[in-house]
């Protein structure tokens, strides 16, 4: 089969003749030909929904094959598990895999509790994360849902076990904490390494088509999506050379993540197959976390 770029140039935005933005919709006239196509092809189909967790500014992604209804959830958060499962139920989806792009330090994963609530659901994470899960992922692995699949690209640097998940047609990449919109994951704790992160992004993400949509695990400024082309052109860190990048990363002086005490020291996120209920309360305006093992 002849190969075509992942997204539609008719819907793309260009800047100095370079495609940089491409969140497109199917409109009246193009829809006609897709209807025709439908009658005599096995075109790939994929439903995608972005969800947000307000406290940690984490994005969770729900993907589904529109024909078989098999679904994958990327980076679910403990606090929003019930929201996600209700939506999955309403949409009539069959959740097959809940995957973490890495072992998070800023929120507690929802995959552990989801496994207990959804029959047959498998958790997944990189084999280099140090975390336990039903599926241990490595470079080139495919996470299949119906006729769709995500391909694993290992993108370490923020942590050793960071992966980027790329949709089969390379129209979307779920970059976790490796590449963020106009930024990238920090490299000053866990197994962070600025040089490794720089190489990961340039070799594994920036080699994707410019039109490929970039869906990160977080955004703290309310941006929802970018493209590889935009980040190659406008990312203030990744447009620098390696030495400049390492210097930037060395001098970020970021505060410690809110839940690093829960997630790293106590290893909650190192066991995707089990979980601890975390309850919050306030005492003289100081937020207290209380963990209950279940």
Between CA 187 and CA 193 the distance in angstroms is 5
* Residue among 101 and 200 whose Cβ is closer to a second copy: 101
Buried b / exposed e along 162-200 (16+ C-beta atoms within 10 A): bbbbbbbbbbbbbbbbbbbbbbbbbbeebbbbbebbbeb
Q: Which helix (H) or strand (E) holds 266?
A: none
Q: What is the closest distance, in whole angstroms, from the C-beta atom of residue 240 to a second copy in the complex?
A: 17
Residue 51 to residues 8, 72, 73, 222, 227, Cα–Cα distance (Å): 24, 13, 10, 12, 18
Which of 222, 140, 223 has its CA nearest to residue 214?
223
* Residue among 160 and 231 whose Cβ is closer to a second copy: 231
Q: What is the closest distance, in whole angstroms, from the C-beta atom of residue 97 to a second copy in the complex?
A: 18
Q: What is the closest distance, in whole angstroms, from the C-beta atom of residue 70 to a second copy in the complex?
A: 12
Collapsing DSSP to helix, strand or coil, 136 comes out as: strand
Q: What is the closest distance, in whole angstroms, from the C-beta atom of residue 267 to a second copy in the complex?
A: 26
* Residue among 38 and 138 whose Cβ is closer to a second copy: 38
Which of 15, 48, 10 has its CA nearest to residue 29?
10
Q: What is the closest distance, in whole angstroms, from the C-beta atom of residue 236 to a second copy in the complex?
A: 11
* Residue among 2 and 253 whose Cβ is closer to a second copy: 2
* Residue among 50 and 138 whose Cβ is closer to a second copy: 50
Between CA 249 and CA 201 the distance in angstroms is 14
- Token readout for 184 is 């990238």
Q: Which helix (H) or strand (E) holds 283?
A: strand 276-283
Between CA 194 and CA 198 the distance in angstroms is 6
Q: What is the closest distance, in whole angstroms, from the C-beta atom of residue 182 to a second copy in the complex?
A: 9
Q: What is the closest distance, in whole angstroms, from the C-beta atom of residue 3 to a second copy in the complex?
A: 8
* Residue among 15 and 250 whose Cβ is closer to a second copy: 15
* Residue among 5 and 246 whose Cβ is closer to a second copy: 5
């Amino acid at each position: 089969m002849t190969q075509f770029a992942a997204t539609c140039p008719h819907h793309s935005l260009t800047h100095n003749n370079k495609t940089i933005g491409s969140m497109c919709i199917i409109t009246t006239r193009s829809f006609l030909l897709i209807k025709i196509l439908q009658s005599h092809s096995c075109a790939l189909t994929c439903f995608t929904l972005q969800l947000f967790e307000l406290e940690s500014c984490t994005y969770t992604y729900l993907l589904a094959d529109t024909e078989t209804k098999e679904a994958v959830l990327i980076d679910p958060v403990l606090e929003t598990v019930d929201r996600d499962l209700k939506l999955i139920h309403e949409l009539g989806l069959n959740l097959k895999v809940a995957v973490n792009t890495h072992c998070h330090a800023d929120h507690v994963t929802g995959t552990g509790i989801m496994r207990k609530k959804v029959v047959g659901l498998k958790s997944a994470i990189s084999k280099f994360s140090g975390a336990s899960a039903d599926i241990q992922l490595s470079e080139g692995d495919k996470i299949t849902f119906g006729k769709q699949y995500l391909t694993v690209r290992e993108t370490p640097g923020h942590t050793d076990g960071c992966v980027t998940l790329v949709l089969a047609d390379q129209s979307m990449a779920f970059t976790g904490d490796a590449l963020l919109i106009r930024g990238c994951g920090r490299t000053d704790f866990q197994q962070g390494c600025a040089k490794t992160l720089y190489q990961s992004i340039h070799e594994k993400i920036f080699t994707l088509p410019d039109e490929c949509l970039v869906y990160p695990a977080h955004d703290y400024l309310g941006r929802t999506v970018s493209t590889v082309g935009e980040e190659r052109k406008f990312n203030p860190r990744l447009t620098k050379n390696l030495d400049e990048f390492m210097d930037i990363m060395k001098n970020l002086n970021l505060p410690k993540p809110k839940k690093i005490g829960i997630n790293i020291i106590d290893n909650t996120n190192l066991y995707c197959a089990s979980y601890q209920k975390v309850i919050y309360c306030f005492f003289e305006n100081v937020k207290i976390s209380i963990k209950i093992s279940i």
